[in-house]
Amino acid sequence: MRSRPLGAAFYRRPVLAVARDLLGATLCRRLGDGTILRGRLVEVEAYGGEEDLASHARFGPTKRNRRMWEPGGLAYVYLVYGMHHCLNVVTGARDEPQAILLRAAEAPNDAPASGPGRLTRAFAVDRALDGASFLHGEALWVEAAEPIPDRAVVRTPRIGVAYAGTWAAKRWRFTVRGHPAVSRGTFRL
């Protein structure tokens, strides 16, 4: 089943609401040769506001993170550890620096894209897509699919943000209960 790309009204909402609703939705990626890769999202993490000590936004806008201050509905892509790309979708209104890290999806070729670095590799995403719009079905977009019921949503602390003090404990990681593609990153408080 194919549907239209989720639009500005979907992304320009509070980041936790968008993160919850992205679970189960279909991430779509059109390659240069026209090939379309599709896979349902099963794990995402919300990052919200300059006050969120886990977020790249915590030091204010910089060359790397400036996309987060734009209105919701565009990609924020960065390189971590000198080798892995991470794909985020910006949410909220302009000057609300929120974004959602896409951490795992059912990959097109049946190989689970389990973990943010693996997801970007499976969907051929790199920094050339930083700032790309999710709204028009071009290189990158998300389509609504069968919703995940509340009883199947599991929230945990975010992965790899132990440096964030009390913000590390917030359960802003959303996963689909028991789904095999959910990454088994470890979190500690």
Partner DNA sequence: GGTGCGATTGCA
Partner DNA sequence: GCAATCGCACCA
User: Could you tell me if 12 and 71 are in contact, meaning their C-beta atoms sit under 8 angstroms apart?
Assistant: yes
Q: How far apart are CA 60 and CA 134, in angstroms?
A: 24
Is residue 118 part of the contact set for DNA (CB under 7 A)?
yes
Kindly state the smallest distance separating residue 52's Cβ from DNA, in Å. 8
Is residue 12 part of the contact set for DNA (CB under 7 A)?
no
Token digits of residue 162: 């132990």
Site string for DNA, 27-66 (x = CB under 7 A): ------------------x-x------xxxx-x--xxxx-
Residue type at position 3: S
Q: How far apart are CA 19 and CA 24, in angstroms?
A: 10
Site string for DNA, 136-165 (x = CB under 7 A): ----------------------xxxx-x--
Of the residues 26, 115, 125, 174, which one makes contact with DNA according to CB under 7 A: 115
User: Could you tell me if 67 and 74 are in contact, meaning their C-beta atoms sit under 8 angstroms apart?
Assistant: yes
- By CB under 7 A, the count of residues binding DNA is 36
Count of CB atoms within 10 A of residue 5's CB?
18
Of the residues 6, 15, 119, 129, which one makes contact with DNA according to CB under 7 A: 119
Q: How far is CA 166 from CA 55, 58, 81, 158, 163, in A?
A: 13, 14, 24, 12, 9
Residue type at position 98: Q
Token digits of residue 13: 């909402």
Q: Which of residues 65-104 bind DNA (CB under 7 A)?
A: 65, 68, 76, 78-84, 86, 88, 99, 101
> With respect to DNA, which residue has the nearer C-beta, 63 or 151?
63
> With respect to DNA, which residue has the nearer C-beta, 40 or 85?
85
Write out the residues near DNA by the rule CB under 7 A. Answer: 45, 47, 54-57, 59, 62-65, 68, 76, 78-84, 86, 88, 99, 101, 115-119, 158-161, 163, 183, 185
